[in-house]
Protein backbone atom coordinates (compact mmCIF):
# COMPACT_ATOMS: atom_id res chain seq x y z
CA UNK A 1 0.00 0.00 0.00
CA UNK A 2 1.00 3.62 -0.44
CA UNK A 3 2.81 4.46 2.78
CA UNK A 4 4.78 7.29 4.36
CA UNK A 5 8.00 7.17 6.33
CA UNK A 6 10.00 9.79 8.21
CA UNK A 7 13.60 10.54 7.23
CA UNK A 8 16.36 12.68 8.69
CA UNK A 9 19.47 13.70 6.76
CA UNK A 10 21.86 13.98 9.71
CA UNK A 11 24.49 16.63 10.58
CA UNK A 12 27.42 14.59 9.18
CA UNK A 13 25.72 14.72 5.77
CA UNK A 14 24.68 18.39 5.77
CA UNK A 15 28.24 19.29 6.89
CA UNK A 16 29.63 17.48 3.82
CA UNK A 17 27.05 19.05 1.45
CA UNK A 18 25.44 15.67 0.71
CA UNK A 19 21.74 16.61 0.90
CA UNK A 20 21.34 16.44 -2.87
CA UNK A 21 23.22 13.16 -3.18
CA UNK A 22 21.03 11.54 -0.49
CA UNK A 23 17.88 12.92 -2.13
CA UNK A 24 18.99 11.55 -5.52
CA UNK A 25 19.37 8.06 -3.98
CA UNK A 26 15.93 8.36 -2.34
CA UNK A 27 14.29 9.41 -5.60
CA UNK A 28 16.15 6.80 -7.67
CA UNK A 29 14.58 4.15 -5.42
CA UNK A 30 11.11 5.40 -6.39
CA UNK A 31 10.36 7.21 -3.13
CA UNK A 32 8.76 10.66 -3.40
CA UNK A 33 9.86 13.49 -1.06
CA UNK A 34 6.44 14.92 -0.09
CA UNK A 35 7.71 17.21 2.71
CA UNK A 36 11.15 18.56 3.55
CA UNK A 37 12.72 21.26 5.72
CA UNK A 38 16.16 22.10 7.02
CA UNK A 39 16.21 22.79 10.76
CA UNK A 40 18.56 22.89 13.73
CA UNK A 41 17.14 20.46 16.28
CA UNK A 42 16.92 21.63 19.88
CA UNK A 43 18.11 19.28 22.63
CA UNK A 44 14.47 18.92 23.68
CA UNK A 45 13.42 17.83 20.19
CA UNK A 46 16.30 15.34 19.95
CA UNK A 47 15.61 13.90 23.43
CA UNK A 48 11.91 13.47 22.59
CA UNK A 49 12.68 11.96 19.20
CA UNK A 50 15.16 9.43 20.64
CA UNK A 51 13.30 8.79 23.93
CA UNK A 52 13.25 5.01 23.25
CA UNK A 53 17.07 5.08 23.39
CA UNK A 54 17.31 7.15 26.61
CA UNK A 55 18.74 4.27 28.67
CA UNK A 56 21.44 3.42 26.10
CA UNK A 57 25.07 4.34 26.85
CA UNK A 58 25.30 6.33 23.61
CA UNK A 59 22.19 8.48 24.29
CA UNK A 60 24.10 11.62 25.33
CA UNK A 61 26.45 11.31 22.37
CA UNK A 62 23.46 10.79 20.05
CA UNK A 63 21.69 13.95 21.28
CA UNK A 64 24.96 15.94 21.08
CA UNK A 65 25.48 14.79 17.50
CA UNK A 66 21.91 15.38 16.31
CA UNK A 67 22.00 18.95 17.65
CA UNK A 68 25.54 19.69 16.38
CA UNK A 69 24.46 21.11 13.03
CA UNK A 70 21.61 21.39 10.55
CA UNK A 71 19.47 18.40 9.70
CA UNK A 72 16.94 17.94 6.90
CA UNK A 73 13.69 16.33 8.07
CA UNK A 74 11.57 14.70 5.39
CA UNK A 75 8.44 12.71 4.70
CA UNK A 76 8.89 10.05 2.00
CA UNK A 77 5.96 8.42 0.23
CA UNK A 78 5.74 5.24 -1.83
CA UNK A 79 4.67 1.63 -1.97
CA UNK A 80 5.96 0.03 1.24
CA UNK A 81 7.93 3.20 1.97
CA UNK A 82 9.07 2.18 5.48
CA UNK A 83 10.74 -1.08 4.40
CA UNK A 84 11.92 0.36 1.08
CA UNK A 85 13.71 3.27 2.75
CA UNK A 86 15.37 0.91 5.24
CA UNK A 87 16.74 -1.03 2.25
CA UNK A 88 17.97 2.18 0.60
CA UNK A 89 19.66 3.32 3.85
CA UNK A 90 21.43 0.01 4.57
CA UNK A 91 22.49 -1.31 7.98
CA UNK A 92 22.94 1.12 10.92
CA UNK A 93 26.67 0.31 10.98
CA UNK A 94 28.01 1.43 7.57
CA UNK A 95 30.73 -1.26 7.63
CA UNK A 96 27.90 -3.84 7.62
CA UNK A 97 25.74 -2.09 5.00
CA UNK A 98 25.26 -3.53 1.50
CA UNK A 99 26.98 -1.93 -1.49
CA UNK A 100 24.95 0.82 -3.11
CA UNK A 101 23.13 1.81 0.07
CA UNK A 102 23.26 5.36 1.43
CA UNK A 103 25.18 4.33 4.54
CA UNK A 104 27.68 2.15 2.66
CA UNK A 105 28.41 4.88 0.15
CA UNK A 106 28.26 7.96 2.41
CA UNK A 107 28.21 7.24 6.17
CA UNK A 108 31.22 7.71 8.47
CA UNK A 109 30.44 5.51 11.48
CA UNK A 110 27.60 3.87 13.46
CA UNK A 111 26.83 7.24 15.07
CA UNK A 112 27.56 9.55 12.14
CA UNK A 113 25.49 7.40 9.83
CA UNK A 114 24.06 10.04 7.48
CA UNK A 115 20.35 9.18 7.64
CA UNK A 116 17.53 8.07 9.91
CA UNK A 117 14.43 6.20 8.74
CA UNK A 118 11.39 5.03 10.70
CA UNK A 119 11.38 1.36 11.75
CA UNK A 120 7.61 0.74 11.36
CA UNK A 121 4.50 2.50 10.00
CA UNK A 122 3.27 3.25 13.55
CA UNK A 123 6.60 4.86 14.46
CA UNK A 124 6.58 6.77 11.19
CA UNK A 125 3.23 8.40 12.04
CA UNK A 126 4.54 9.51 15.45
CA UNK A 127 7.83 10.81 14.04
CA UNK A 128 6.15 12.69 11.17
CA UNK A 129 3.73 14.35 13.62
CA UNK A 130 6.66 15.56 15.75
CA UNK A 131 8.07 17.65 12.90
CA UNK A 132 5.31 18.34 10.36
CA UNK A 133 1.77 19.63 10.38
CA UNK A 134 -0.65 18.14 7.84
CA UNK A 135 -0.59 21.17 5.54
CA UNK A 136 3.21 20.93 5.16
CA UNK A 137 2.90 17.49 3.53
CA UNK A 138 1.96 17.63 -0.13
CA UNK A 139 1.52 14.21 -1.70
P1 LIG B 1 19.01 6.03 14.05
O2 LIG B 1 18.37 5.17 13.00
O3 LIG B 1 18.87 7.49 13.87
O4 LIG B 1 18.44 5.63 15.49
C5 LIG B 1 19.23 5.49 16.63
C6 LIG B 1 20.63 5.93 16.41
O7 LIG B 1 21.52 5.64 17.43
C8 LIG B 1 21.17 5.19 15.20
O9 LIG B 1 20.57 5.71 14.05
C10 LIG B 1 22.65 5.41 15.34
O11 LIG B 1 23.10 6.53 14.64
C12 LIG B 1 22.81 5.63 16.83
N13 LIG B 1 23.59 4.55 17.40
C14 LIG B 1 23.27 3.25 17.41
N15 LIG B 1 24.24 2.54 18.01
C16 LIG B 1 25.20 3.43 18.38
C17 LIG B 1 26.45 3.33 19.03
N18 LIG B 1 26.91 2.14 19.46
N19 LIG B 1 27.14 4.46 19.23
C20 LIG B 1 26.67 5.66 18.82
N21 LIG B 1 25.48 5.82 18.20
C22 LIG B 1 24.77 4.72 17.98
pLDDT in tens, the chain (139 residues): 999 999 999 999 999 999 999 999 999 999 999 999 999 999 999 999 999 999 999 999 999 999 999 999 999 999 999 999 999 999 999 999 999 999 999 999 999 999 999 999 999 999 999 999 999 999 9
In this prediction the ipTM stands at 0.93
Query: From ligand 1's centre to the CA of 62, what distance in Å?
Result: 7
pLDDT of residue 2: 96
In short, whether 110's Cβ falls inside 6 Å of ligand 1 is: yes
135 in a known ligand binding site? no
Any idea which residues carry the catalytic annotation?
116
Residue 65 — φ and ψ, nearest 5°?
-65, -45
Interatomic CA distance for residues 130 and 114, integer angstroms:
20
Q: CA geometry: angle at 86 spanning 90 and 119, to 5°? A: 130
Q: How many CB atoms lie within 10 A of CB 67?
A: 17
Q: Going by CA atoms, what residue is nearest to atom 22 of ligand 1?
A: 111
pLDDT of residue 34: 98
Amino acid sequence: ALERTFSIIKPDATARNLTGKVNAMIEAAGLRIVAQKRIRMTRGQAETFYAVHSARPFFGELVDFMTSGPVVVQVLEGEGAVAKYREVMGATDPSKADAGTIRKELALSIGENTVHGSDAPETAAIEIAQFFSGNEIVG
